[in-house]
Amino acid sequence: MTQKRPWSRRRRIVVAATCAVTLLAVSGSAWAVDRYLVPHVQISDVSEYEAENSTVAATDDEPARDAVTTATSYTSDDAAISISTVTTGSGSSTVTYYVADVVLSDATALRSAFANDSFGENIIQTTSEIAAANDAVFAINGDYYGFRDTGIVIRNGVVYRDEGAREGLVFYLDGTVEVYDETSTNADELLAAGAWNTLSFGPAILEGGEVVDGIESVEVDTNFGNHSIQGDQPRTAVGVIDSNHLVFVVVDGRSPGYSEGVTLTELAGILQELGATTAYNLDGGGSSTMVFDGELVNNPLGKGTERGTSDILYVAG
């Protein structure tokens, strides 16, 4: 009888293990593609869904205003908007950012919209495209809710997701705005308190008019694909000056000689100088965009082209 060599069995084990690792890698890649790239539509007609589920009654008694539109300002029955451009520093330390001072006639004049009028994961359009589809005179990118499956998502008075995970921002119907802990409440409680819109990104960078400690070490997500939000980056943020008086800042970055971007602490300083007492960081990087009167205001990554995002905040024209 011929005996089998010991290395033959070892070779079969090695081959089997290699196949198992390969299969795991393939299945892992497939999972990642499905989780982060393939669109998953949960609600395909958001406009109709909101119309059927909104508990906010429409009113027709808002004060009338004359509509005046210029290159840098807009006034209507819904809002008064003023946009300015600021450039500081020089050479490789140059920073360029855009400020929109927005006074709302009513809290509901600040609305949210989803890419393709659909709610779900990995559904994207540019800020300009979403703005155009919703007749927005002013818009900024939102919190890119569609990159993750956690967070409390209330938009235009309607609940879309109730998975508290991080520090959120809530806009109330009375015009006030506050930072809150998503894990200590739920969507129904927020609605009962008068929530109109929530954002789930962060961190809060100003509270009580002071820069929040520790913001340079915050991680927004710990899931697969999370990128650091530290260092000099393009940024988008919203600040609160008073009830129904907001300021939005978009900072260009990653463009040496044009705009290098800012840290979270520097972003907080900008909002503080603008008079904000509360300020909250939104999705940044290539997503950071501001649109006004149908035109892209800023210059994303110095290339003038927008990256797709899942949602916007806007004021209708």
Name residue 206's amino acid. Answer: L
Q: Are residues 2 and 114 in the same domain?
A: no
Q: How confident is the model at residue 51 (pLDDT cuts 50, 70, 90)?
A: confident
Domain count, the chain: 2
CA–CA distance, 261 with 250 (Å, rounded to integer): 10
pLDDT, tens only, 68-80: 233 589 999 999 9
77 and 176 share one domain: yes
Query: For residue 177, what are the β-bridge partners?
Result: 171
Q: Are residues 4 and 63 in the same domain?
A: no
Strand partners, 240: 246, 278
With a cut of 80, say whether residue 280 has pLDDT above it: yes
Percent of the chain with pLDDT over 90: 72
Contact 160, 303 (CB under 8 A): no
pLDDT tens per residue across span 86-121: 999 989 999 999 999 999 999 999 999 999 999 999
Higher-pLDDT residue of 208, 69: 208
What number is the average pLDDT over the span 39-45?
89
Same domain, 30 and 46: no
Same domain, 15 and 117: no
Give me the domain span that covers residue 135. 42-316
The whole-angstrom separation of Cα 102 and Cα 110 is: 9
Q: Which of 125, 114, 107, 101 is nearest to 170 (CA)?
A: 107
Residue 20 has pLDDT above 80, yes or no: no
* pTM of the predicted model as reported, rounded to 2 decimal places: 0.83
Cβ neighbors of 9 (< 8 A, separation 6 or more) are: none
Considering only CA atoms, which of 149, 186, 182, 184 is closest in space to residue 168? 182
Over the stretch 168-199, which tens digit does the pLDDT of each residue have?
999 999 999 999 999 999 999 999 999 999 99
Clarify whether residues 115 and 3 are in a common domain.
no
Do 30 and 145 belong together in one domain? no
Whether residue 136 contacts residue 144, with contact meaning beta carbons closer than 8 Å, is answered with no
The answer to whether residues 87 and 69 belong to one domain is: yes
Q: Within this chain, do residues 181 and 300 fall inside the same structural domain, yes or no?
A: yes
* pLDDT-based confidence at residue 7 (cuts at 50, 70, 90): very low
Q: Using alpha carbons, list the distances in angstroms from residue 228 to 97, 167, 232, 263, 265.
A: 21, 17, 11, 12, 15
What are the backbone dihedrals phi and psi of residue 37, each rounded to the nearest 5 degrees, phi first? Answer: -120, -40
DSSP state of 58: P
CB 312 within 8 A of CB 112: yes
Q: Indicate the pLDDT class of residue 15, thresholds 50, 70 and 90.
A: very low
